[in-house]
């Protein structure tokens, strides 16, 4: 029976050799593939932080060589990792990059796939803010949520401004109704 370490060691050694050869030959595509493969091995070992470093190198290589498909793959991998870790803001950043890179290709299913990844991460990111305001259950937080519900954009940053704006809209609507009823 073979141990996992015995299986990993030759793979990591081979990937290191591949990275060295790719670097010496200025083979950017090969270097990117080596970074991607190394990251996959590290993720399978649970070394996610190290895998992130290699995937970020892969993103850099893919951008510099204008390899859109590789950039999509790298960004999806990073987005998945950050999404699993609950860092939805970073996941959104990487899924958005994947979506933008996929748009440069003619692969519509890939565009749709990246759009779904981005949408899910964005929804998770927004739910963090919604949940924090729901948990607080104070007047300002409720006004904040009501204002967000009215315009359905990203969460506003200043709840005091939101509350004032919402109150002003309600006062304006009430005054408008009073004026209309006065002249009827």
HEC profile for 19-78? HHHHHHCCCHHHHHHHHHHHHHHHHHCCCHHHHHHHHHHHHHHHHHCCCHHHHHHHHHHH
**CA dist list (Å): 44 to 5, 22, 87:** 12, 24, 20
pLDDT at 3: 52
- pLDDT tens profile 2-39: 455 555 557 677 776 767 776 677 778 878 888 888 88
Find out whether 111 and 100 touch, Cβ atoms under 8 Å.
no
Evaluate whether 146 touches 154 at the Cβ level (below 8 Å). Answer: no
Q: What is the pTM of this model?
A: 0.70
Place of tokens 């999404």: 83
Per-residue pLDDT at 146: 75
Residues 34, 25: contact at Cβ < 8 Å? no
pLDDT at 82: 95
What local confidence, expressed as pLDDT, does residue 42 receive? 86
Intervals of the chain under pLDDT 70: 1-9, 11, 16, 18, 22-23, 151-171, 174-175, 177-184
pLDDT at position 1 is 46
What's the pLDDT score for residue 30? 79
pLDDT for 183 equals: 63
The pLDDT of residue 63 is 92
List the one residue out of 134, 138, 10, 117 whose CA is nearest residue 73: 117
């Amino acid at each position: 029976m073979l141990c996992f370490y015995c299986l990993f060691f030759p793979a990591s050694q081979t990937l290191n050799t591949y990275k060295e050869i790719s670097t010496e030959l200025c083979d950017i595509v090969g270097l990117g593939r080596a970074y991607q493969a190394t990251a996959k091995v590290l993720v399978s070992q649970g070394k996610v932080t190290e895998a992130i470093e290699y995937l970020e190198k892969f993103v850099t290589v893919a951008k510099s060589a204008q390899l859109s498909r590789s950039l999509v793959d790298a960004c999806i991998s990073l987005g998945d990792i950050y999404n699993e870790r609950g860092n939805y803001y970073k996941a959104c950043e990487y899924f958005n990059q994947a979506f933008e890179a996929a748009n440069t290709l003619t692969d519509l299913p890939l565009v749709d796939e990246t759009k779904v990844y981005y949408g899910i991460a964005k929804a998770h990111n927004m739910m963090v803010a919604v949940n924090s305001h729901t948990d607080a259950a104070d007047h300002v937080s409720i006004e904040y949520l009501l204002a967000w519900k009215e315009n359905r954009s990203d969460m506003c940053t200043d709840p005091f401004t939101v509350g004032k704006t919402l109150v002003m809209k309600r006062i304006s609507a009430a005054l408008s109704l009073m004026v209309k009823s006065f002249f009827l």
